[in-house]
């Protein structure tokens, strides 16, 4: 391709309303343009990237035995009423009426439509498992679209839905999809983690999110430094510290701590490590009673874990200070487990401490040298905290690291939520009608493009992983309009490279070298050659990889072979 036939729409200025780097760079490099809030046009350069992602996704889905279909964007309300989501789904569901005042919606997801299809087509267990997918523009009426295509109102999605006669078959396909996703993101050259996820409101029994690691991510991901283990921080198990709890070594003593409200205050006041203190939070129990949650001073309560405990009300409600003072005789900042006559739930790490410091349940007093069993008794010991970096990995291999991640894929074991509501059943081998079990598997195809940029860029612009690059190679002839030698070498080499199957962009614009260099760097093309009179006089072409600090000279006669090797790496 030649830039003279290709819309290069780079911009120097960073657009004012673009908050994240991928949004800024996609606008500046001319990949997308905003039509309205959350609605973007993909320009030719951006669309080439999007199509590369799409093709990798399609190839791996096909290889995993999924079958591609194309379902309508416009969906009748009746199906959503049948599943119960017409009422449940929030205003993100763009509801519309046709000219006959019939209700429809623009599908953000297709569980209902695919279940309707499959319940009509599939009658026997012999036709299962069946895994149908599509790559389609979805619409979601975001209240506040932002971050460019990362949270937009239209986006390209791969959504797949599998149908099974039993849970074992679902689990097999779920594993295939897990594997396919791993292939996809590996082929795309992204640093990612499949992350154990909370199944949240979708229901179902198992779920993994696939996250691209990037500083700008919205989620905290905890993962092992020496195994495949990864989970959302909220989901990662904080395992009990190894070894026995030390025996008590100090006597318990009460001391006045005027003005001390927080663990920080306490550690500073006594010159001690926060990890040798405990803090006591008071929550409402299932019956409305008060329950104490005791954590190590340097740890944070994990709401999701706490809510899952039978004794704790869900959603978690922490008690008001007035209520606490009335019941326990002291306010926040002076609470502790000693002498409490309410249920006490102790985090595993807090339970492993000896000779710790805590509130005395008397305002502005604390206790030092406190020991479990001797001075107070834990009601139960549970995992109720967020993991922190350095915690042992729950799978027993290595330690946890925590990084931010951008969710680009999600796989779910849906179970029978939709098939039950919509009566999708088959006959099993005994001729008995059984409700189909379902899985669903999404990839935010357009989101992958933004996530790749968040992970791969520098101050000059985008650095595409090779599999996603709009072109593999940029070819910049200097002074082409005046130098016959440069023009003819460029033309000849361009034809050679095309014949060699290299996807090359020849920058034949009549622009200054600086403009061309800046554009090729901004647009993130992984390899660049420069053809100029000076190097050419000595039979050389200049080469520079997008991540290289310096360029180097390669003899003209070796350049095609050289580039082929570079591109294979």
Smaller CB separation from a second copy, 92 or 264: 92
CA distance 160 to 70: 11
Going residue by residue from 134 to 163, which x/- string records binding to a second copy, judged by CB under 8 A?
--xx-x-x-x---------xx---------
Decide: is 117 part of the binding site for a second copy (CB under 8 A).
Answer: yes
User: Closest Cα partner for 36 from 159, 140, 136, 152?
Assistant: 152
Q: Find the binder of a second copy among 25, 42, 125, 508 (CB under 8 A).
A: 42
CA distance 480 to 486: 6
Contact 358, 350 (CB under 8 A): no
Task: Tell me whether the omega of the peptide bond preceding residue 338 falls within 30 degrees of 0, making it cis.
Answer: no
Smaller CB separation from a second copy, 38 or 297: 38
Residues 47-76 that bind a second copy (CB under 8 A): 47, 50, 65, 67-76
Contact 378, 364 (CB under 8 A): no
Q: Find the binder of a second copy among 17, 55, 88, 98 (CB under 8 A).
A: 98
Smaller CB separation from a second copy, 24 or 334: 24
User: Closest Cα partner for 172 from 437, 563, 370?
Assistant: 437
Residue given tokens 């499959």 in the structure block: 118
Residue given tokens 């690059």 in the structure block: 469
Closest CB 5 distance from a second copy, rounded Å: 6
CA distance 284 to 315: 10
Closest CB 77 distance from a second copy, rounded Å: 10
CA distance 104 to 74: 6
Smaller CB separation from a second copy, 134 or 472: 134
Q: Find the binder of a second copy among 14, 17, 41, 227 (CB under 8 A).
A: 41
Decide: is 113 part of the binding site for a second copy (CB under 8 A).
Answer: yes
The alpha carbon of residue 246 and the mean position of all alpha carbons in its chain are separated, in whole angstroms, by 40
Closest CB 177 distance from a second copy, rounded Å: 16
Q: Find the binder of a second copy among 13, 16, 87, 99 (CB under 8 A).
A: 99
Smaller CB separation from a second copy, 130 or 316: 130
Q: Find the binder of a second copy among 33, 85, 183, 187 (CB under 8 A).
A: 33
Residue given tokens 């409600």 in the structure block: 317
CA distance 500 to 242: 59
- Strands of the sheet containing 527-531, edge to edge, are 504-506, 473-477, 527-531, 540-545, 552-555
Count the site residues for a second copy by CB under 8 A. Answer: 47
Contact 427, 125 (CB under 8 A): yes
Q: Find the binder of a second copy among 121, 286, 492, 548 (CB under 8 A).
A: 121
Decide: is 103 part of the binding site for a second copy (CB under 8 A).
Answer: no
Terminal alpha carbon distance of the chain = 23
CA distance 54 to 109: 18
Smaller CB separation from a second copy, 72 or 339: 72
Residue given tokens 């650095």 in the structure block: 463
Using the contact rule CB under 8 A, the part of the chain among 14-22, 42-50, 323-331, 361-369 near a second copy is: 42-50
Q: Find the binder of a second copy among 44, 84, 248, 466 (CB under 8 A).
A: 44
Using the contact rule CB under 8 A, the part of the chain among 111-119, 158-166, 398-406, 450-458 near a second copy is: 111-119
Decide: is 94 part of the binding site for a second copy (CB under 8 A).
Answer: yes
Smaller CB separation from a second copy, 106 or 195: 106
Q: Find the binder of a second copy among 55, 63, 88, 96 (CB under 8 A).
A: 96
CA distance 158 to 545: 32
What b/e sequence results for 213-248 when a residue is b if at least 16 CB atoms lie within 10 Å of its CB, and e otherwise? bbebbebbbbbbeeeebbbbbbbbbbbeeeeeeeeb
Smaller CB separation from a second copy, 73 or 553: 73
List the structure tokens of 509: 């614009």
Decide: is 429 part of the binding site for a second copy (CB under 8 A).
Answer: no
CA distance 367 to 360: 5
Q: Find the binder of a second copy among 9, 318, 327, 553 (CB under 8 A).
A: 9
Backbone φ and ψ of 367, nearest 5°: -110, 140
What is the helix (H) or strand (E) element at residue 456, kind and residue range?
none
Going residue by residue from 510 to 539, which x/- string records binding to a second copy, judged by CB under 8 A?
------------------------------
Closest CB 131 distance from a second copy, rounded Å: 10
Where helices occur in 160-239 by DSSP H, the ranges are 167-187
Using the contact rule CB under 8 A, the part of the chain among 2-10, 175-183, 270-278, 398-406 near a second copy is: 2-10
Q: What's the alpha-carbon Rg for the chain, to the nearest Å? A: 30
Smaller CB separation from a second copy, 158 or 544: 158
E strand intervals along 204-266: 206-213, 219-224, 230-232, 253-256
| Residue 174: HSE in the Cβ half-sphere, 13 Å Cα cutoff | 24
Using the contact rule CB under 8 A, the part of the chain among 34-42, 168-176, 273-281, 377-385 near a second copy is: 34-42
Closest CB 277 distance from a second copy, rounded Å: 47
Decide: is 43 part of the binding site for a second copy (CB under 8 A).
Answer: yes
Using the contact rule CB under 8 A, the part of the chain among 92-100, 271-279, 359-367, 405-413 near a second copy is: 92-100
Using the contact rule CB under 8 A, the part of the chain among 35-43, 180-188, 398-406, 516-524 near a second copy is: 35-43
Q: How many residues does the chain have?
A: 569
CA distance 334 to 312: 22
Smaller CB separation from a second copy, 130 or 197: 130
Using the contact rule CB under 8 A, the part of the chain among 37-45, 210-218, 275-283, 526-534 near a second copy is: 37-45
Residue given tokens 């790559």 in the structure block: 135
Contact set with a second copy (CB under 8 A): 5-7, 9, 33, 35-36, 39-44, 47, 50, 65, 67-76, 91, 94, 96, 98-99, 104, 106, 113, 116-117, 120-121, 130, 132, 136-137, 139, 141, 143, 153-154
């Amino acid at each position: 391709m030649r830039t003279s036939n290709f819309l290069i729409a780079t911009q120097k200025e960073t657009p004012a309303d673009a908050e994240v780097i991928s949004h800024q760079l996609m606008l500046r490099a001319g990949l997308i343009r905003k039509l309205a809030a959350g609605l973007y046009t993909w320009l030719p350069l951006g669309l080439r990237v999007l199509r590369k992602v799409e093709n990798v996704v399609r190839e791996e889905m096909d290889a995993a035995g999924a079958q591609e279909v194309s379902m309508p964007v416009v969906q009748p309300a009746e199906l959503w009423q049948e599943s119960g989501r017409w009422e449940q789904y929030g205003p993100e569901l763009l509801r519309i009426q046709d000219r006959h005042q019939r209700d429809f919606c623009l599908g953000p997801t297709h569980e209902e439509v695919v279940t309707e299809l499959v319940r009509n087509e599939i009658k026997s267990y012999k036709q299962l498992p069946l895994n149908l997918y599509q790559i389609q523009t979805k619409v979601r009426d975001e209240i506040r679209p932002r971050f460019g295509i990362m949270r937009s109102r239209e986006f390209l999605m791969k959504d797949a839905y599998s149908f099974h006669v039993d849970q074992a078959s679902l689990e097999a396909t779920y594993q295939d999809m897990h594997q396919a996703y791993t292939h996809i993101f590996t082929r795309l050259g992204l640093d990612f983690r499949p992350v154990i996820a909370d199944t949240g409101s979708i229901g179902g029994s198992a779920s993994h999110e696939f996250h691209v690691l990037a500083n700008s991510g919205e989620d905290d991901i905890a993962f092992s430094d020496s195994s495949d283990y990864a989970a959302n921080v909220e989901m990662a198990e904080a395992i009990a510290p190894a070894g026995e709890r030390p025996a008590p070594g100090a006597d318990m003593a009460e001391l006045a701590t005027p003005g001390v409200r927080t663990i920080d205050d306490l550690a500073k006041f006594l010159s001690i490590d926060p990890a040798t203190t405990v803090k006591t939070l008071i929550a409402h129990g299932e019956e409305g009673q008060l329950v104490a949650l005791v954590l190590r001073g340097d740890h944070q309560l994990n709401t999701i874990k706490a809510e899952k405990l039978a004794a704790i009300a869900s959603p978690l409600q922490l008690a008001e200070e007035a209520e606490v003072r009335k019941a326990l005789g002291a306010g926040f900042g002076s609470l502790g487990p000693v002498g409490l006559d309410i249920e006490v739930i102790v985090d595993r790490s807090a339970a492993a401490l000896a000779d710790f410091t805590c509130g005395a349940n008397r305002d502005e007093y604390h206790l030092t040298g406190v020991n479990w069993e001797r001075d107070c008794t834990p009601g139960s010991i549970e995992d109720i905290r967020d993991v922190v970096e350095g915690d042992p990995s729950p799978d027993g291999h290595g330690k946890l690291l925590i990084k931010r991640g951008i969710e680009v894929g999600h796989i779910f074991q849906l179970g029978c939520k939709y098939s039950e509501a919509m009566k999708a059943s088959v006959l099993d081998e005994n001729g008995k009608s059984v409700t189909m079990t379902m899985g669903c598997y999404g990839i935010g195809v357009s989101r992958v493009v933004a996530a790749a940029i968040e992970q791969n860029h520098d101050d000059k612009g985008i650095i595409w992983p090779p599999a996603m690059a709009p072109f593999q190679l940029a070819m910049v002839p200097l002074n082409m309009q005046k130098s016959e030698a440069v023009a003819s070498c460029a033309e000849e080499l361009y034809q050679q490279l095309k014949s060699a199957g290299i996807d090359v962009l020849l920058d034949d614009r009549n622009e200054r070298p600086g403009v061309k260099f800046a554009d090729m760097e901004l647009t993130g093309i992984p390899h660049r050659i420069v053809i100029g009179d000076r190097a050419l006089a000595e039979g050389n072409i200049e080469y520079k990889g997008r991540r290289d600090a310096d360029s180097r000279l390669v003899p003209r006669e070796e350049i095609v072979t050289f580039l082929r090797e570079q591109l294979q790496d």
